[in-house]
Amino acid sequence: MLKLLQKKFALSESGAKDLIKGSLYSALADLTMMLPVGLFIMLLDELLQPLLGTSASTPNLMKYVLLVFVVFIVLYCCQSLQYSSVFISTYTESATRRINLAEKLRQLPLSFFGKRDLSDLTNTIMGDCATLEHAFSHAVPQLFGAMLSTLVITIGLLYTDWRMGLAVLWVIPAAFLMIIGSKYLQNRAELKHYQAKRICADGIQECLETIQDIKACSMKERYIEGLDKKLDAAEQAHIHSELTLGAFVTSAQAVLRLGLASVILAGSEFLIAGKTDLLTYLIFLITASRLYDPLSGTLSNVAEIFMAEIPVTRMQEMKAQPVQHGEKNYRLNGYNIEFDHVAFSYNTAEPVLKDVSFVAKQGEVTALVGPSGDGKSTAAKLAARFWDADSGKITLGGQDITAIDPEALLKNYAIVFQDVTLFNDTVMENIRLGKREATDEEVREAARMAMCDEFVSRMPMGYDTVIGENGSVLSGGERQRISIARAILKNAPIILLDEATASLDVENETKIQTALTELIKNKTVLIIAHRMRTVANADKIVVLSDGYVSQQGKPDDLLKQDGLYRHMVKIQTQNMDWSLYK
Ligand SMILES: Nc1ncnc2c1ncn2[C@@H]1O[C@H](COP(=O)(O)OP(=O)(O)OP(=O)(O)O)[C@@H](O)[C@H]1O
């Protein structure tokens, strides 16, 4: 039962237990709602008896005042128990669900993020969790509770008078069958609504991210028009989904209302035929008037639960994604990185790396060069286990990196990528990311080595200046220098530099290269650069072309060969004479 609930509703074990508890309390709360009815029937019985001549005693009003007081206390206790049990457990589960999802995302390989777009992921974490939160606080326990309490009341009614019982109860399965029968249509409409909403969110996100280019290309009108269409489509899909839901729920609620009419008709018929007495008739009338109200609300709960299936499925998909495993404790024999017949493709059939073998030795600078798009960055990222190779093996210090926990592995790497990621925090804290426990002085020293001092001193609050979302107040070169400072601070045994100095002017590039020369001493350095002069002093050049290593060796040796490396050096030397105004 627990396992079934966990699977069906993407719950943790404690969440499933709380759901059962909440449902039982909801059932209890629903049943206690019938206590005033019971009390009223008792009073009615005592009032009717003298009129019908079965007893001469008059009702003891004091007893009823006391009973009303007791019923009020019982009602209050049950409702508060139900409220705290359902809501507290729902919000606790919701927090656990969000934390678990975020933790799962942290463990997932980057390949997963390539398959899913960011707004979809954000929607799953924020939107889907909110949808489930609402379903579990306002629909699921109430539905299960109503089912349990209705079952108890059904048994009581059928036991009292099965024919009158049937007159009250026939509408319940009829109304629920209507809702269950419409499940397919409702889910289809909701799925369309979700997809339209996602396309719309994607469009808005894209618009915000590319606002500069949109303005630069005078595409504003075209873009707004496109966004307008997406918003319209989302609105239409929403209306359609609400109408589908509304049509079925309202019809089912109308069917429920027929129950009262059927009790009146059948009851009058039985009363005239002498098949039932007045008190029983009144009992069924009062019960029917109380029974249908909570059930009417429950019909929309069923629809909400159907709709919750979409987020539950998406969450389960995410939970089922395979994560990268590995040992946290491992022994390395040095820090050589070796690619052994490595092949890799992203989500496309065409592999980026087909058969790549080379060694990047500790204490040496190994440069990956080659035509654009031929897999240099991919190879560098594979070396840090951002993805796992499809075939072949990558080892670090003789250990297969797939046997090492990705986070534990990354402790050995300092990485400077082309696309630097900065946080909306101070310069100091952005650099300190390289080494959390670093003192302010250590951070400043790393910043000085990475030539950050000069631009930080111009900032209003120096190292305490907040640099905006992803370093929006900084230039490309400044962002890159912060990233280099991080790497210097981390002082890891392996350094991956992917176009690390691409955004720098010649003066800063030369200065930073001097700092990098200090940084890379006795380390394993894998460097990617398009400018051949950046890698001319490397110990080894690996030329990647069309998924293969077409050449590898010392730069001077490769220059003597009639190959791609010499060709690239030649073209770049010729280009140095090129001018826009020629
Ligand atoms: N996350 C990704 N998902 C799918 N395809 C990708 C991804 N990253 C890169 N690619 C594709 O893989 C191929 C190799 O890309 P990669 O960035 O490794 O090349 P590169 O040699 O470093 O290019 P450049 O010199 O232009 O930086 C390209 O065709 C690129 O479009």
Tell me the pLDDT tens digit for each residue of 549-559.
Answer: 999 999 999 98
d(CA 51, CA 57): 10
346 lines ligand 1 (CB under 6 A): yes
Rounded to the nearest angstrom, the distance between the alpha carbon of 413 and the centre of ligand 1 is: 21
Domain 2-318 CATH class label: mainly alpha
Cβ pair 354, 343 in contact under 8 A: yes
The separation between the first and the last C-alpha atoms of the chain, rounded to the nearest angstrom, is 79
Nearest to 318 by CA among 509, 112, 564, 472: 112
pLDDT score, position 337 = 96
The region of weakest confidence among 116-125, 196-205, 480-489 is 116-125
Average pLDDT over residues 364-388: 91
Q: Which residue has the higher pLDDT, 400 or 2?
A: 400
Ligand 1 and 373: CB distance under 6 A: yes
**CB proximity list for 143: less than 8 A, separation 6 or greater:** 298, 301, 302, 305
Q: Domain limits of the chain?
A: 2-318
DSSP string, 539-566: SEEEEEETTEEEEEE-HHHHHHSSSHHH
376, 503, 532: which to mutate for ligand 1, most atoms within 8 A of CB? 376
Q: Rg of the Cα trace of the chain?
A: 35
Cβ atoms of 46 and 56 closer than 8 Å: no
In single-letter form, the type of residue at position 115 comes to: K
Q: Is the pLDDT of residue 385 over 70?
A: yes
**pLDDT the model gives residue 502:** 64
377 lines ligand 1 (CB under 6 A): yes
Range from 137-146, 227-236, 271-280 that averages highest in pLDDT: 227-236
**Ligand 1: which of 376, 378, 498, 568 to mutate, judged by most atoms within 8 Å of the beta carbon?**
378
- pLDDT tops 90 at residue 287: no
Check pocket membership of 352 for ligand 1, CB cut-off 6 A.
Answer: yes
The average pLDDT across 146-160 equals: 85
- Mutate which of 352, 368, 527 for ligand 1? The one with the most ligand atoms within 8 Å of its CB, which is 352
CA 85 to ligand 1 centroid distance, Å: 52
> Is the CB–ligand 1 distance for residue 372 below 6 Å?
yes
pLDDT reading at 580 higher than 70: no
Cα–ligand 1 centroid distance for 544 (angstroms): 12
Average pLDDT, the chain: 84
Of 115 and 432, more confident: 432
Mutation to probe ligand 1, out of 116, 345, 346, 369 (largest number of atoms < 8 A from CB): 346
Backbone phi, then psi, for 302, in 5-degree steps? -60, -45
Instruction: Provide the pLDDT for residue 508.
Output: 67
Distance 375 CA to ligand 1 centre (A): 6
pLDDT at position 117 is 66
DSSP lists the bridge partners of residue 497 as: 416, 527
d(CA 378, ligand 1 centre) in Å = 6
The pLDDT of residue 511 = 67
* Higher per-residue confidence, 110 vs 453: 453
Q: 200: CA distance to ligand 1 center in Å?
A: 27
- Strand order across the beta sheet in which 548-553 lies: 399-400, 391-396, 337-344, 353-360, 548-553, 540-545, 365-369, 524-528, 494-498, 413-416
Give the pLDDT of residue 504: 66
Say whether pLDDT at 582 is over 60: no
Residue 569 has pLDDT above 60, yes or no: yes
Considering only the C-alpha atoms of the chain, give the largest distance between any 2 of them, rounded to a whole number of Å. 123
Which residue's CA is minimally distant from atom 16 of ligand 1? 375
> Residue 411: which pLDDT band, with cuts at 50, 70 and 90?
very high
Work out the average pLDDT over 146-166. 87
Range in 59-63, 225-229, 250-254, 351-355 with the lowest mean pLDDT: 59-63
ipTM of this predicted complex? 0.97
Scanning the structure block, which residue is given the tokens 């019985």? 45
Strand spans (E) along 150-294: none
| Ligand 1 nearest atom to the CA of residue 544, by list position | 21
CB of 378 within 6 A of ligand 1: the answer is: yes
